């Protein structure tokens, strides 16, 4: 998901998206451990999506603290 799309979402929606991505990352780790994982590139995309969401949340928190 693009950062511009994430910035349009509310804080609650970002939190839900973050939880969903963490669950998906956990499921991928379990698939990798059992040998059922087919596309290891998914780790990278999910990890980056989590980082994007956390960055936007920190930006919002920093803006709220200043103002």
Question: Mind giving me the DSSP string for 2-57?
Answer: -HHHHHTS-HHHHHHHHHHHHHHHHHHHHHHHHT----THHHHHHHHHHHHHHHHH
Q: Which CATH class is domain 3-66?
A: mainly alpha
**3-26 per-position pLDDT tens digit:** 899 999 999 999 999 999 999 999
pLDDT at 34 over 90: yes
| Residue 1: per-residue pLDDT | 78
pLDDT at 58 over 90: yes
| Residue 23: per-residue pLDDT | 98
pLDDT at 67 over 90: no
């Amino acid at each position: 998901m693009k950062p511009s799309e994430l910035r349009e979402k509310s804080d609650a929606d970002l939190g839900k998206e973050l939880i969903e991505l963490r669950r998906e990352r956990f499921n991928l780790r379990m698939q990798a451990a059992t040998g059922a994982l087919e596309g290891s590139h998914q780790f990278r995309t999910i990890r980056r999506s989590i980082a994007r969401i956390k960055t936007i949340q920190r930006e919002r928190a920093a803006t709220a603290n200043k103002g």
